Amino acid sequence: MIQTGGAPLIIINRSAEREQGHRVQKQNIAAAKMVADVIRTSLGPRAMLKMLMDPMGGIVLTNDGNAILREITVKHPAAKTMIEIARTQDEETGDGTTSVIILAGEFLAQAEQFLEQSIHPTVIIHGYRMALEDIIEWTEEKFSKPVDLTSESELTTVVKSCLGTKMLAKYMDLAVNIALSAVRTIDVTNNDFREIDIKRYCRIEKIPGAAIEDSNVVKGVVLNKDVVHPKMSRRIEKPRVLLLDCPLEYKKGESQTSLEIMKEQDFSRVLEQEEETIKRQCDEIIQLKPNLVFTEKGISDLAQHYLVRAGITALRRLKKTDNNRLARVTGARIVHDTADLRESDIGTQADLYEINKVGDEYFAWITSEKTTAVTVVLRGPSKDIINEVERNIQDALHCVRNVLTNPRVVPGAGALEMALSHALLEKAKSIPGVRAGPYKAVAHALEIVPRTLIQNCGGSSTIRQLTALRAKHAQQPDTNWTWGINGRDAGGELVDMAQPESVWDSLTVRLQAIKTAIETAIMILRIDDIVSGTKKRDKDENGGGGGAMPGPGGPKMNNDQLHDWLADLHGRFCPGRYRQQLSSDGSETIAPPADGDASTAPAALCPSPESPSQWRPSLCHLSPSTNILLQYFSCNFEDTRLSSPLVAQLLALYYKFGAARCFVLQLVPTFIYLYLKALNKRWLNAAQMLETLFLAIYNEEILAAGPGTPSMVKRSEEVLLPLLRSASVVPSSAADFGTISGGSVAGKVNICPETASVSWRSVGGSQSKLLTAAAAAGASCSSGRGGTIRSKRASTVRLGPYPAIDSMIAENRFTVLTRLMRVVTHFILYMAPEVICPSLCRSLLYICRSGFSFQESDLRHRVLRERASVEVFADFSKKARIRVVSPFLVESINGVNFALLNGHADIALRALDAVHQRAQYEVMADVLLETNALRNALLDPKAMETIVARNSAGIGAKEEQPQRHDEKETRRRSVDGAGGGGDGTFSMANGDGGGGGKGTNANSKNRRHTRRLMEVPTIDFSDCS
C-alpha cells in the first residue's frame, strides 16, 4: 500500500499473506535448521536409517539425504529451497547430498547471531563470498592430491570411501567391481571430447529374488520383454538386428477422422487396404533378411504371422531409452518408416540374443563385447532392499565418473573441513572491521561435519575429541591436514587419512557441496520479504452448496464485525452463579451449590440467574448471526490468523456458563467435521486449534459411565483439598462414598464440602495418590487403614468419573469426539433448532459420504412425498474419505432424530440415509440396528403424515419448545407393539411401527435398540416445559 495525495493505493491483494524484515530472515533460518536436523543423523559410516512412507503407501528405507528429503512434504519456501539443493547435488555429483544440507543449515545458523546484532545481511554475504573464494583456491591447490587412473588400488580406495557410509558397505568389493566395470564400458572419447553418460547408457535392472551377491554387470541391454509370438526364436547368435519406432499394425485415424461407406464393397475394400499396408511393411523388412526386430510401437497379429513365416523374431513396445541403448550395442540405426530401410540400418555388432525366465517373468539379453552401453542387474530378497542397493550403486557410479573426469581427491572423515576451518581462522586475523566476523563464521560452520561424525559414531566426548582434532591441525598445518575422525569404529578417535585403507573423497563432490551450501545460505540471507498468493478454496469452502455451513451464499459479515458481535455476546450472557466462600487462609475460593438446591441444573450447564427455559428463545433470536459465524468459520478455518481469535472468543463465551455455554455447544458438530477435514488435508495448525477447543469442552463435560446412571452428564462436585492441583477420578455426589480406581490407587473417599475435608480409607492397604499428594504438600494427615485430609491452605478440585485428557492422539481422538457429540445431543433441547439441526445433519452427511459415490435412496421421497430436495450438494466422490467409528455415528443419530421432528426433515433424512449407507459399507452392526429401526418407524403412514406436517409448518423455528417423545408413552407403545396388540400408532421409539397394522412386529433387537436410543437422555427437562 502506498499513499498518493492522502488516499491509500492498494498494490498487493489483501488476501495475500506477506511477511517482511528480520522476522522473515529468522523464519527462513529456523526452517533451514529444521531440515538439516532431520537428516543430521544420516551422515557417516555409522549413519542411522530413515523409514519413510510415501503417499501411495510404499516404504522407503534409506540414509541417502536426497531420497529422505524427496519423500518429505514441506510448506515453508526456505525448506523447499533446502530440499532443492539436495536434488541439485545429486544430479551434479551423485553424492554429498547429506553433507550439503547439513553445511547449508550450519552456515545459516552461524549468520543468525550477526542478524541479532543488527549487522546488515550484505556485510554477512560479503564475508561468506570472501571465504568461498579462499576455500576453492586452497582445496584445489593445498588440500587435494592427484589420482593415478591406471592404478586399480587408488580407484578402489576412492569408491570404497564413497560406499563406506552406505548400506552396501558389507558388499563393498562387489559394488566396486560393478561400478568400475560399468563406467569404463560407457566411457567414450570422440574428437578429444570425453563422454560418460550414466543416465542414458547405464541402466539398472532390478529383479527381486536370489541374493545381493548375484548382482552383475551385463555388457549390453537387458529388457523385461518376451517374444510377441510363441513360435519365434528365444536364442540367436550373431543376430541381424533392425530397430524401428513405427508400428507394424493398422494405422488408426485421428480423433476427428470420418469414413464414409456407401456399400458393403467399400467396407471390404477398407479391410483389404489395411492388410495390404501391413503386408507391404513386412515385405520391406523381410527383403533385408534381419532375424531380430525391435519396435517402440505395436505389432498386429497379421504382421506377426508374416514375420514368423519368414523366421524373424520380434519384440514390441520398447522404451525410447532402451531403443537408444540397443543402437549402441548392436550398431543398428533407428528407422522411422519401413519404406526408408537400407542395408546400413541393420546392426550386426551383437554377439548373442537370448530370452531367459527369471522368477515369473521373461527377460531378454542382447550382449556384445564391443558395446558402449551396459546394464547392471541387481538381485535382492525384497524390493525395498533392492531400491536401497540401487541408490548405493548410483552413488558409486557417479563417484567413478567424477574421479575419471577430475582425477583429484581430498581427505574425508572431516579432515578437509577441519583443515579449511583452521586456514580460514588464521586468515581472519588479518581481516579488518566487521567483515571478519562472518568470515570466521564460515570456519566455525565447517566444523559441523567432524562434530556430526563424532556424535553419530557414539563418541564419548564430542568436545574433547573435536578439540583434539583442532589441536592436531594447529600443530603442523602443512602436514597434519589429512587428520580426521575414525567414524567406522565406535568412539570416533582421530586417524590419519594418509594411512592405507583410509577415506578419500572426490574433489568434485566435496567442493560442489561446500559451494552449493554457501551459495544457498547467501541466497536465503538476501530474502527480506515473502508474499504468498491468494489461496485457492474448495467448492465446499466458498459458501455455496456442499459447504459445511448452514444457509446459502457467502457470509454477510466481515472478520471485524464478527469479532464485535461475539464481544457483544459476552455482555449479553449472564455469568454462572457460584457461591463464594473464604478458605482458612482468607483467600477466596469457589464452592458448588448446596446439594438439593432447587435452582441447580446439570453441571454441564452451570446454574445462572436466568432460567434454563429462557436459553433456547435467546439462542433462536441469534440464529441468523450464528449461521453467518459458522459459514465464515468454515470458509476460513484453515487460516489460523483469522480463525484463532474467533475460537478464543468462543472459549471465553463457553466459560460464562448458562446460555453462553449452549451457544458454543451448538457449534460443535460443524467443528468436528472441519477438524476431521483438517486432519485429512494435513492442516496441522487448524487441527491443533480445534483440538484446544475440544479438550477445553471435554474436560468440563466428562460423561458418566453408562445409561444406568441418574444423569448421562457428570454431576461433578468441587471440593477443597490442601494444595492438590491434579484432578482425581471419583464418581460422586456430595457426602457419598466414591471409589478411586486407576493404577495402584484403590480406596474410598468421603466428600464433605462444609468442613473442607476429605476422608480416605484404603482398600487392600494400598496408598492413595490423594493422601500422598497431601502429605507432600505439608498437610497434616494420618495414613493406615483410614485417614482424614484436612485443609491448611485449600485449593479447588473438580471430581469426575474420568481423568482429564491433555492432548488428542490417534488412540483417544474418537473417544473425545463421541463424548462431545453425546453432550450436544443431550442438551439439544436448549439450543436453537435453526442452528443445531442443519449443522449436525450436514456435518454428519459430509463425514459419511466424503470419498464415496453412494446414491441416495428413495427414503426422503417416500416420507416427504417430494421428488427434489431443497438443497443441492457437491460431488462427494471426489473428496478424501473421512474415517469414522460406530459409537460416534450412534450418538449422532440422536441429533438426526431431533431434527426430523423440528422442521428439518429434508436434511435429516438425507443424513440418516448417509449414515445407513456408510454403516452398510463398513459393516457397523450397532449403527445398522439404529438406522434400520428408525427407517422402519418412519415408513409408518401416520409417521409420514406427522413428519410432513411438522416439516411444512417449520415448527422447529416457530414453536417456543422443540418436540420430544414422552418416555412413558414411548415405553407403553413399545410394549403394546411387542405384544402384538399395537394398532399401528406412530411412535419414533419403537421399531415395530413399520408394518402399520395390528400384530406387526419387527426384529426384537431392533425394537430394544431403538427403545434404548430414545431413552438415553434421562435428564429431567421439566424446567423447559
DSSP letters of 439-489? HHHHHHHHTHHHHHHHHHTT-S-HHHHHHHHHHHHHH-TTTGGGEEE--SS
User: What is the grid cell recorded at 1023?
Assistant: 424446567
- Mean per-residue pLDDT for 816-820? 88
- How far apart CA 379 and CA 214 sit, in angstroms, is 6
Residue 420 or 959, more confident: 420
- Mean per-residue pLDDT for 140-165? 85
Please count the CA atoms within 13 angstroms of the CA of 217 that sit on its side-chain side.
23
Given a cut of 60, whether residue 243 has pLDDT beyond it is yes
- For the question of residue 37 being annotated catalytic, the response is no
Q: What confidence category does residue 237 fall into, taking pLDDT thresholds of 50, 70 and 90?
A: very high
Angle at 989 between CA 985 and CA 990, to 5 degrees: 65
Q: What confidence category does residue 573 fall into, taking pLDDT thresholds of 50, 70 and 90?
A: low
For residue range 823-848, list pLDDT tens digits in order.
Answer: 888 788 888 888 888 889 889 888 98
Is residue 748 within 8 A of residue 761, CB to CB? The reply is: yes
For residue range 973-1008, list pLDDT tens digits in order.
Answer: 333 333 333 333 323 333 333 333 333 333 333 333
- Mean per-residue pLDDT for 55-75? 81
Residue 411: phi, psi to the nearest 5? -70, 140
Given a cut of 50, whether residue 729 has pLDDT beyond it is no
pLDDT of residue 490: 67
- How far apart CA 55 and CA 36 sit, in angstroms, is 22
569-574, Cβ contacts within 8 angstroms, sequence gap of 24 or more: 569/622, 569/653, 569/660, 569/663, 570/649, 570/652, 570/653, 570/656, 570/660, 573/653, 573/656, 573/658, 573/659, 573/660, 573/663, 574/608, 574/609, 574/610, 574/656, 574/658, 574/659
- How far apart CA 441 and CA 521 sit, in angstroms, is 12
* Distances 257 to 252, 260, 262 between C-alpha atoms, Å: 9, 10, 16
Q: What confidence category does residue 563 fall into, taking pLDDT thresholds of 50, 70 and 90?
A: low
Calculate the CA dihedral of residues 359, 364, 369, 371 and round it to 10 degrees: -120
- Domain segments of the chain as ranges: 19-147+410-525, 152-204+210-215+376-406, 220-251+265-370, 541-704+807-827, 717-799
Calculate the CA dihedral of residues 533, 539, 540, 545 and round it to 10 degrees: 140
For residue range 658-689, list pLDDT tens digits in order.
Answer: 778 888 888 899 999 999 988 888 888 888 88
Is residue 214 within 8 A of residue 321, CB to CB? The reply is: no
CATH of domain 152-204+210-215+376-406: 3.30.260.10
- Mean per-residue pLDDT for 129-135? 93
Instruction: Give Rg (Cα) of the chain.
Output: 39
Cross-strand partners of 237: 352
- For the question of residue 395 being annotated catalytic, the response is yes
Is residue 898 within 8 A of residue 875, CB to CB? The reply is: no
Residue 86 or 547, more confident: 86
What mean pLDDT value characterizes the chain?
Answer: 74
What's the CATH fold of domain 220-251+265-370?
Answer: GroEL (3.50.7)
- Mean per-residue pLDDT for 158-185? 85
- Mean per-residue pLDDT for 66-75? 84
Name the active-site residue from 64, 95, 322, 913: 64
- Mean per-residue pLDDT for 17-41? 86
pLDDT of residue 571: 57
Please count the CA atoms within 13 angstroms of the CA of 763 that sit on its side-chain side.
12
Q: What confidence category does residue 76 fall into, taking pLDDT thresholds of 50, 70 and 90?
A: confident
Given a cut of 60, whether residue 749 has pLDDT beyond it is no
Is residue 350 within 8 A of residue 329, CB to CB? The reply is: yes
- For the question of residue 301 being annotated catalytic, the response is no
Is residue 521 within 8 A of residue 417, CB to CB? The reply is: no
Greatest mean pLDDT among 320-324, 593-597, 689-693, 716-720: 320-324
Given a cut of 70, whether residue 692 has pLDDT beyond it is yes
Q: What percentage of the chain reaches a pLDDT higher than 70?
A: 70
For residue range 488-532, list pLDDT tens digits in order.
Answer: 776 778 888 777 778 888 899 999 999 999 999 999 999 888 877
Name the active-site residue from 62, 81, 93, 97: 97
- Mean per-residue pLDDT for 708-721? 38
Given a cut of 80, whether residue 98 has pLDDT beyond it is yes
- How far apart CA 866 and CA 859 sit, in angstroms, is 10
pLDDT of residue 801: 53
Single-letter amino acid, residue 950: R
For residue range 356-409, list pLDDT tens digits in order.
Answer: 998 889 999 999 988 889 999 999 888 888 888 888 898 889 888 988 888 888
Residue 794: phi, psi to the nearest 5? -90, 145
3-state SS track over 523-555: HHHCCCEEEECCCCCCHHHCCCCCCCCCCCCCC
Number of H helices, E strands in the chain: 35, 32
- Mean per-residue pLDDT for 955-963? 42
pLDDT of residue 982: 34
- Mean per-residue pLDDT for 146-165? 84
CATH of domain 19-147+410-525: 1.10.560.10
Is residue 935 within 8 A of residue 991, CB to CB? The reply is: no
pLDDT of residue 870: 52
pLDDT of residue 796: 40
Given a cut of 60, whether residue 572 has pLDDT beyond it is no
- How far apart CA 876 and CA 860 sit, in angstroms, is 19
Given a cut of 60, whether residue 279 has pLDDT beyond it is yes
- For the question of residue 156 being annotated catalytic, the response is no
Name the active-site residue from 81, 93, 98, 825: 98
Name the active-site residue from 395, 540, 906, 913: 395
Range name among 84-88, 265-269, 486-490, 542-546 with the lowest pLDDT average: 542-546
Residue 443 or 617, more confident: 443
Given a cut of 50, whether residue 633 has pLDDT beyond it is yes
First-residue to last-residue Cα distance in the chain: 58
pLDDT of residue 587: 34
For residue range 348-365, list pLDDT tens digits in order.
Answer: 999 999 999 988 899 999
